[in-house]
Structure 1
Amino acid sequence: MTYAHQANHVTLVITHSIQPDRQADYEKWLDDIMPHAASFPGHLGVNVLRPVHGDNAYTILIRFSGLDELYAWLKSDERKALIHDLPAMLSQPEHVEVRPGPAFWFTPTQPGQVKPAKWKQYLLTLGVIFPSTNLVPWFWNQVLPASHGTLWGHLLNDASVVALVVFMWMPLATRVLKQWLMGRKA
C-alpha cells in the first residue's frame, strides 16, 4: 500500500550518542548494518555525519523511496537482530525521526537542539547550489560541447548538480559548518 500524501522520498534521521570507549565498536556496527539497509527495496542512500570537535553524536540519514519501504526495513527481522547490541554502545537512548523530502539537511543532531535559523539554511543552500549550477554546465560544455542547449544536456547538468549537492556538498557543508548552523539563535 502506498500513501497518496507521502513525499517523493522519506529520510530516517537517527542520532546516536556513543560512549567514548565504544566508538570503534560502533563504527564496526555501522559497517555491518549499512549494507543490510542498502539491500532493501526502495533504499536511496545513507549519509553518516560523524562527531566533530569532541562531540560523541553520530547522525545517520537513511533515505527510502517511501514510507512503506522505510517501514519494511524498520520492522525487518534483519534490522531487529542488528540493533540488539546497540543500546550497550549508547550513552543515552537513540533519537529517531522520519522526515519527508529533503528536510533532513538541517535536522538538529541533538534532541532538544533548535533547528538552524532560516537565513542560515538559505545561505548554506545558496552557497552550495550557486557554484554548482555555474560550474557543472561549464564543465559539461567543455567535455561534451554538443550537449550545450539540448534537452539531454540540461538533464545531464541537473542530474550532476543534484548528485553533487545530495551526496557530496551538503553532507560536507553541514558537517564543517555544524557549529555555525546549530549555534546560538541569531
Structure 2
Amino acid sequence: MNYSTQQDHVTLVITHSPLPGKTREYEAWLEEIMPMAASFTGHLGVNVIRPREGETAYTILVRFADLDRLYAWIHSPDRQALVAKVSGLLDQGDRFEIRPGAAFWFTPQTKKGPTPAKWKQYLLTLGVIFPSTNFVPWFWGTLLPAGKGTLWGHLLNDASVVALVVFFWMPLVTRLLKNWLIPKGQ
C-alpha cells in the first residue's frame, strides 16, 4: 500500500521503560538513535517525554512527513540494530504505535476553509499536551498512589490525557483561538 500521497505528517509513538539502574545507559542510547532518525528523509522532529519522579516510562514522539518515510525508518537496518542493542535495557521491549498528524484537531468546519499554519498547530498542541501530561499523573498519583509506575497507572494517565485533550481542551482552545489560528481574510 502506498501512503506517499498522505498530506499530513505521521507520528511514531514509542513507549519504553528502562529496567531499574539502566536509565543512564538508556539515555545514552537515546542520544545515539535520535540523530540517526533525524538523518532519514522525511524526518520532521522528535520529542522525548521523560518520566516524572517515581515513574519509569519514557514516551518518544518521532514525526515523519508520511507513512512511507516512517516505514523506511522503522524497517531500516540502522534502527533494527539499535533496537536490538537497547532490548536488554528495557522492561517490556520496544512498544510503539503509529498515529496520523495532529491536523484532525484543526479541521475547519467546512472542507473549503483554510487550515492553520503548522507552527500554530504545534504551539497550540504543545500548550495543551504539556500541562495535561504533568497535571494528570500528579492528580492520579495523589488520588491512587498504588498506581504510580504500574501498567494500569500508565493506562489511566494516558486515557485521561487523551480524553481531556480530545474531548475538552482542543475543542475549547481551537474555538477560543480561532481568529489567531486562521486570521480573517485567509
Distance in 1 (alpha carbons) for counterparts of 2:22 and 2:35 = 21
Distance in 2 (alpha carbons) for counterparts of 1:48 and 1:38 = 14
| Residue aligned with 1:177, SS | helix
TM-score normalised over the length of structure 2: 0.61
Change (3 A) 1:70 1:158: closer
TM-score normalised over the length of structure 1: 0.61
Distance in 1 (alpha carbons) for counterparts of 2:3 and 2:59 = 27
Change (3 A) 1:4 1:75: closer
Match for 2:134 among 176, 179, 185? 176
AA aligned opposite 1:172:
F
Distance in 1 (alpha carbons) for counterparts of 2:28 and 2:128 = 25
Change (3 A) 1:20 1:170: farther
Match for 1:162 among 108, 111, 121? 121
Change (3 A) 1:159 1:59: closer
Consecutive unaligned residues in structure 2, runs of 5 or more:
106-114, 141-155, 164-186
Change (3 A) 1:35 1:171: farther
Distance in 1 (alpha carbons) for counterparts of 2:81 and 2:94 = 16
Consecutive unaligned residues in structure 1, runs of 5 or more:
104-124, 126-154
| Residue aligned with 1:20, SS | coil
- C-alpha deviation, 1:163, in angstroms: 4.0
AA aligned opposite 2:134:
V
> Can you list the C-alpha shifts for 1:112-168, whole angstroms capped at 9, x where unaligned?
xxxxxxxxxxxxx9xxxxxxxxxxxxxxxxxxxxxxxxxxxxx9x9455334235x5
Q: What value does the CA root-mean-square deviation take over the aligned residues?
A: 3.1
**How do residues 5-154 of structure 1 correspond to structure 2 at under 5 angstroms?**
6=6, 8-102=8-102
Distance in 2 (alpha carbons) for counterparts of 1:5 and 1:41 = 16
Paired residues, what number?
Answer: 135
Identity within the alignment, %: 45
Distance in 2 (alpha carbons) for counterparts of 1:60 and 1:8 = 19
Distance in 1 (alpha carbons) for counterparts of 2:23 and 2:96 = 19
